[in-house]
Structure 1
Amino acid sequence: MSTEAPTETAQTERAPLRESHAKRWRGPGWGFMIKLALMALVNAFGILTAISAWRAESWVVLSVVVLLVVVVDIVYFGKRALPMKYLLPGLIFLLIFQVFIFGYTAYIAFTNYGTGHIGSQEQAVEAALIQGERRVDDSPTYPLSVVQRGDELGFAIATDDGEVLVGSAIEPLSEASGADLSSTGAPGEVPGWTVIPRATVLTDSVLQAQINDLRVPVSDDANDGSVRTRDGSSGAIYESTLVWDADAQAITDTTSGTVYAATDDGSFVAEDGTALPTGWYVNVGFANFLTLFTDSALAGTLGSVTIWTFAFAILSVGLSFAIGLGLAMVYNDPRVKGRRILRALFILPYAFPAFMAALLFRGMFNAEFGIINDLFLFGAHINWLGDPWLTRAAVIFVNVWLSYPYWFLVCTGALQSLPGDTLEAAEIDGANRWQRFRSIVLPLLLVSTAPLLIASFAVAFNNFTVIYTFNNGGPAIPGAPYALGSTDILVSAIYDVSGVSGGASDYGLASALSIVAFIVVGIISALSFRQTRKLEEYQ
């Protein structure tokens, strides 16, 4: 075996290999830099969200956010799990916008969250004490200045002995060392705070509202009262006539001696049954679900609403499908002249916004000046929007007018895809048009349109826009709770119960009704999809 050194030719041949190896790594590319920037934004957002959850002591949200950030970093900075890089965004959005919303709705359904039961017990106590506030009889009037520190507002007052005290809603009054008084006797300079000029206080309406609502505690004990101002230049001590005893879990009215004890359902109730208007939300178990089925007034009304909801959904989908299919069959015939123009005219309602159409039809069905009575019924006075059955017929008409173009388009495409030889063979065998439609055309159409019919049923079942915009669910059902109306469907009934439109709200009961409606639609959809499998034999 030769041990001679490599020749010059061999060294020359190997040199380019070493050079290409040196050029192999050129640093991170633009793709990596873009990914790094996006991941930095994701991590920054996650950290900020985690800090907010930690401050709010929302440990569930904190745990989920931290877990998501860790999973995202592992997936996108790792070299494995390539499919997960594409699936993870969709899964996260599904978790946030579907699973979380459904889970939170289910959580609220088991609470008494609503009017009078919004916050925690601590917040309920604070609200009760504020509602019972009265100015202390012997309280002097203090020269006052409105001060600000960042976004935090506060009061600085000058006592009779020239001492300056300053505080905010979260910090009781304390001595402000080094503060100076102005010529008016109110504090002019307060170390650590910015004194808001009197002119700004008088001209800024938003600031005035904040000042009127501001209460600066005199001490750490809420029962000692707080400083308030009416004009932004002078203040006095206000003390609540209600006294909170944390050990006894009771609020005492010092003027009457009535004691309001905390109850398990989140209220302060006296022995005579009277209760304070403020309470807190607590877990009530299945109480909301039991109310839906055991409260005679509510259960009876919701029963009629449920029946009407099914009728509205079935008739809306059935009629619009029948009309769309009929028009599609007519204008699919090559003997019809100008089919393209006519098809374009028939699908115009599909391009019209639903809420705008409902508003226009509301005016057209008006009994006094509506075009329906004046032109089409020769001036007859028909109360379309006041009679329950007429209003139901009108709202079904509006929904069919809006939805039949969709089925016209779907059925037109489905008809054009039918096998011509099958229809021709049936015609040769002597089948008439009705027999061909019933035995061939309709079953083949349902193969492709049945899933769409189920989806349309779910949409009509929850069609809040048309119901609310057309007549706000009216006319009202006499004696019905929560101002429910004759054309209210379950989704609009949930809206009324929630109190979003005004009045008393019961989010717990509304959430329970939402869960029931979700289960009903889910069961119907599952059974319908199961039945559509039988249509596959026609393919």
Structure 2
Amino acid sequence: MNATLSPADRETAVSKAQATYSSGPLPWIIKIAVLGILDAFLVLGAITAVGASAWWILAAIVVLLVLLNGIYLPPNRFLPAKYLFPGLVFLSIFSIGVILYTVYISFTNYGDGHNSSKSDAISAIQANNTARVPDSPTYTSAVALKDGKLELLVVDPATKQVKAAPDGGVLAPVEGVQVTSIGGIKEAPGYQVLSFSDITQRSKEIGAFKAKMDEDPNSGFIRTTTGTRAFEYKSTLSYDQAKDTFTDAKGTVYSDSGKGSFVSADGQRIEPGWKVGVGFENFTRAFTNPDIRGPFLKVTAWTFAFAFLSVATTFALGLFLAIMFNEPRMRGQKVYRVAMILPYAFPGFLSALVWAGLFNQEFGFINEVLLSGARIPWLTDPVWAKVSVLLVNLWLGFPYMFLVATGALQSIPDDVLEAARMDGASPWQTFRQIKLPLLMVPLAPLLISSFAFNFNNFVLIFLLTNGGPQFQGTSLTAGHTDLLISMVFKVAGFAGGNHDYGLASAFSIIIFFLIGGISYLAFRQTKTLENLN
């Protein structure tokens, strides 16, 4: 900024800044209060990062703290940074940070069965593979709330001592508990003992509750289904910490496969696993695994075809209508133009839902009324479903092209068109050799952006066909009208089914490079058009 300001302007800016900071103590008080609140949140985040051993998050918070206070505390320095800093922070968190995290996930096996650390997986394996210990004593128990979380209270039948633990925690003694004459737990300080009706309402959560007897991973658990009686359970898989293996009751040994799971010698796997880095495996699966490659290539081909045909059809119709309604001798131009942009005025998601009803094979308006009771499978047949998607996108997209083409047509000088008529050019020659080249200069970037938009037109596909009809003979959740972006949505498990965030992230990166490469080539062609013009 200093390089672009004259000395007089720079002196004026500095004097205004000094006047602002010398206008009284109130601005300083407000600034210090706001900085104090922000610093408190950042310090809290730093403490949490230390507890979770997230050192890179801690480093980012420390850098943010230093920059925040270093920029905003000095009153007369770093004036440009005071305005740029908030935008840069949000850009780093919500754009750059998300991109980097997606890249990181694409090189992992993150997904169903592999969504936590190895220690969590070991605990879950032991907790999920349990059986009641034969002839184990019955524990009198109660379920209570402490700080809003469920805890299990049990009476040791041998010592009559009351112990409590949260789900997955270790039982610890509790003092001051009131026990009834028949040995039941009546009241405990700091706990809200649940009634029978409360236990019934939360029976599923209580049935999955497990309290460890001690820190030994091979020790048993205390579980209850009624809330008043608990029993001892023990894992059917024994974990050897020294060898890092599990052994079941039959003597089968499960070892760390190095790919985030315990696997036996004959290939049997114990669930769940844990998240590990897998290198380029997700990218390799996308192109080499037949179960994934086939649907992926079909979806990719349809995505390109859909984006190209959508741009071509909407541009052709929009340009045709713009030329037709740009005729000065036509009466009622404004009325016609308003009618043309009505589809653009309605929300796209609402229009997609309306069209889904119109295309209904049994009761839709198109089959029942327009086609006199025909039974065309608009949304259930692979070919007709693609036709339906293109027709609806044409309806939604041509008004935009109509608007921009109308504006571009009106910007062409009349003397250029008059000169063409004087030279004896036909209307088609005038359009092909004069109007269209002049139109392509301002419209080419819009066509490129429209191609990129339709390449990722998730809303239309999701609401109209949900990507269906589905591919047969593959485990990949994808259909004939899925675009790459909607397939990624399904692979990630957001539409139900299995979650495979690693593969979905790999697909996202592939989409990024596809769109980036196409946009680069298209903008180079646009530059050529500008030079020719």
The TM-score, its normalising length taken from structure 2, stands at: 0.91
Secondary structure in structure 1 of the residue aligned to 2:269: coil
| Counterpart selection for 2:227 from 229, 232, 241 | 232
Mapped to 1, the partners of 2:34 and 2:210 lie a distance apart of 44
Mapped to 2, the partners of 1:526 and 1:26 lie a distance apart of 51
Question: Compared with structure 1, are the counterparts of its residues 42 and 174 closer, same or farther at alpha carbon in structure 2 (3 Å cutoff)?
Answer: closer
| Counterpart selection for 1:155 from 140, 152, 163 | 152
Secondary structure in structure 2 of the residue aligned to 1:223: coil
Query: How do residues 351-362 of structure 1 correspond to structure 2 at under 5 angstroms?
Result: 351-362=345-356
For 1:63, give the aligned amino acid: A
| Counterpart selection for 1:522 from 503, 513, 516 | 516
> Are positions 1:132 and 2:126 aligned together?
no
| Counterpart selection for 2:426 from 432, 435, 447 | 432
Secondary structure in structure 2 of the residue aligned to 1:66: helix
For 1:219, give the aligned amino acid: D
Aligned match of 1:6: none
Secondary structure in structure 2 of the residue aligned to 1:482: coil
> Are positions 1:214 and 2:209 aligned together?
yes
For 1:100, give the aligned amino acid: G
Q: Cα distance, 1:199 vs. partner? A: 4.8
Question: Compared with structure 1, are the counterparts of its residues 24 and 384 closer, same or farther at alpha carbon in structure 2 (3 Å cutoff)?
Answer: closer
**More displaced 10-residue stretch of structure 1: 415-424 or 516-525:** 415-424
Tell whether the 8 Å contact from 1:368 to 1:381 is kept in structure 2 after alignment. yes
| Counterpart selection for 1:59 from 55, 59, 64 | 55
Q: Cα distance, 1:125 vs. partner? A: 1.2
> Are positions 1:117 and 2:111 aligned together?
no
| Counterpart selection for 1:475 from 469, 480, 498 | 469
Query: How do residues 72-111 of structure 1 correspond to structure 2 at under 5 angstroms?
Result: 72-78=68-74, 79-111=76-108
Mapped to 1, the partners of 2:317 and 2:42 lie a distance apart of 51
Secondary structure in structure 2 of the residue aligned to 1:474: coil
**More displaced 10-residue stretch of structure 1: 47-56 or 464-473:** 47-56
For 1:121, give the aligned amino acid: K
For 2:287, give the aligned amino acid: F
Aligned match of 2:269: 275
Aligned match of 2:7: none
> Are positions 1:442 and 2:436 aligned together?
yes
Query: How do residues 229-308 of structure 1 correspond to structure 2 at under 5 angstroms?
Result: 229-254=224-249, 256-308=250-302
Q: Cα distance, 1:209 vs. partner? A: 4.1
For 1:174, give the aligned amino acid: A
Secondary structure in structure 2 of the residue aligned to 1:481: coil
Aligned match of 1:46: 42
Q: Cα distance, 1:538 vs. partner? A: 5.4
Q: Cα distance, 1:458 vs. partner? A: 0.8
Q: Cα distance, 1:253 vs. partner? A: 1.1
Secondary structure in structure 2 of the residue aligned to 1:357: helix
For 2:103, give the aligned amino acid: A
Q: Cα distance, 1:107 vs. partner? A: 0.6
Mapped to 2, the partners of 1:26 and 1:288 lie a distance apart of 59
Secondary structure in structure 1 of the residue aligned to 2:270: coil
Secondary structure in structure 2 of the residue aligned to 1:165: strand
Q: Number of aligned pairs?
A: 513
Question: Compared with structure 1, are the counterparts of its residues 420 and 302 closer, same or farther at alpha carbon in structure 2 (3 Å cutoff)?
Answer: same
For 1:212, give the aligned amino acid: G
Mapped to 1, the partners of 2:116 and 2:488 lie a distance apart of 21
Aligned match of 1:19: none
Tell whether the 8 Å contact from 1:168 to 1:217 is kept in structure 2 after alignment. no
Mapped to 2, the partners of 1:275 and 1:456 lie a distance apart of 47
> Are positions 1:185 and 2:179 aligned together?
no
Mapped to 2, the partners of 1:325 and 1:535 lie a distance apart of 19
Mapped to 2, the partners of 1:156 and 1:87 lie a distance apart of 55
Query: How do residues 295-374 of structure 1 correspond to structure 2 at under 5 angstroms?
Result: 295-374=289-368
Question: Compared with structure 1, are the counterparts of its residues 44 and 440 closer, same or farther at alpha carbon in structure 2 (3 Å cutoff)?
Answer: farther
Mapped to 2, the partners of 1:459 and 1:405 lie a distance apart of 15
Question: Compared with structure 1, are the counterparts of its residues 349 and 35 closer, same or farther at alpha carbon in structure 2 (3 Å cutoff)?
Answer: farther
Q: Cα distance, 1:485 vs. partner? A: 1.0
Tell whether the 8 Å contact from 1:201 to 1:232 is kept in structure 2 after alignment. no
Question: Compared with structure 1, are the counterparts of its residues 233 and 531 closer, same or farther at alpha carbon in structure 2 (3 Å cutoff)?
Answer: same
For 1:225, give the aligned amino acid: G
Question: Compared with structure 1, are the counterparts of its residues 176 and 374 closer, same or farther at alpha carbon in structure 2 (3 Å cutoff)?
Answer: closer
**More displaced 10-residue stretch of structure 1: 270-279 or 164-173:** 164-173
Question: Compared with structure 1, are the counterparts of its residues 414 and 49 closer, same or farther at alpha carbon in structure 2 (3 Å cutoff)?
Answer: farther
> Are positions 1:198 and 2:195 aligned together?
yes
For 2:45, give the aligned amino acid: T
State the identity %.
Answer: 44
For 1:48, give the aligned amino acid: L
Mapped to 1, the partners of 2:117 and 2:427 lie a distance apart of 69
> Are positions 1:455 and 2:449 aligned together?
yes
Tell whether the 8 Å contact from 1:319 to 1:400 is kept in structure 2 after alignment. yes
Q: Cα distance, 1:320 vs. partner? A: 0.7
Mapped to 2, the partners of 1:66 and 1:81 lie a distance apart of 19
Q: Cα distance, 1:296 vs. partner? A: 2.2
Mapped to 1, the partners of 2:428 and 2:65 lie a distance apart of 62
Tell whether the 8 Å contact from 1:156 to 1:165 is kept in structure 2 after alignment. yes
Secondary structure in structure 1 of the residue aligned to 2:476: helix
Tell whether the 8 Å contact from 2:210 to 2:222 is kept in structure 1 after alignment. yes
> Are positions 1:145 and 2:139 aligned together?
no
**More displaced 10-residue stretch of structure 1: 178-187 or 318-327:** 178-187
| Counterpart selection for 1:399 from 393, 409, 424 | 393
Query: How do residues 374-389 of structure 1 correspond to structure 2 at under 5 angstroms?
Result: 374-389=368-383
Secondary structure in structure 2 of the residue aligned to 1:222: coil
> Are positions 1:503 and 2:497 aligned together?
yes
